Amino acid sequence: MLTVIGIGPGREAMMTQEAIAALKAADIVVGYKTYTHLVKPLVGDKEIIKTGMC
């Protein structure tokens, strides 16, 4: 299953509980480098695939 999550400004306190739960449940996280850095504390050692904005 593919889940697309909006992280808002990127702080955990500003995210919905559903977004936080989905990030914690994800097997792999894919996103722009800046945003994946912001959610790293929520995903721990899971695989993260970082992309550029170009």
Would you give the DSSP letter of residue 31? Answer: E
Stretch 20-42: mean pLDDT, rounded? 93
Q: Let me know if 6 is exposed, middle or buried by CB neighbors in 10 A (0-12, 13-18, 19+).
A: exposed
- Position 10 scores a pLDDT of 80
Residue 29 and residue 16: Cα distance in Å, rounded? 17
- Position 9 scores a pLDDT of 86
- Position 36 scores a pLDDT of 92
Question: How crowded is residue 23: how many other Cβ atoms within 10 Å of its Cβ?
Answer: 20
Q: How far is CA 32 from CA 7, 16, 37, in A?
A: 12, 20, 9
- Position 39 scores a pLDDT of 93
Confidence band of 38 (pLDDT split at 50, 70, 90): very high
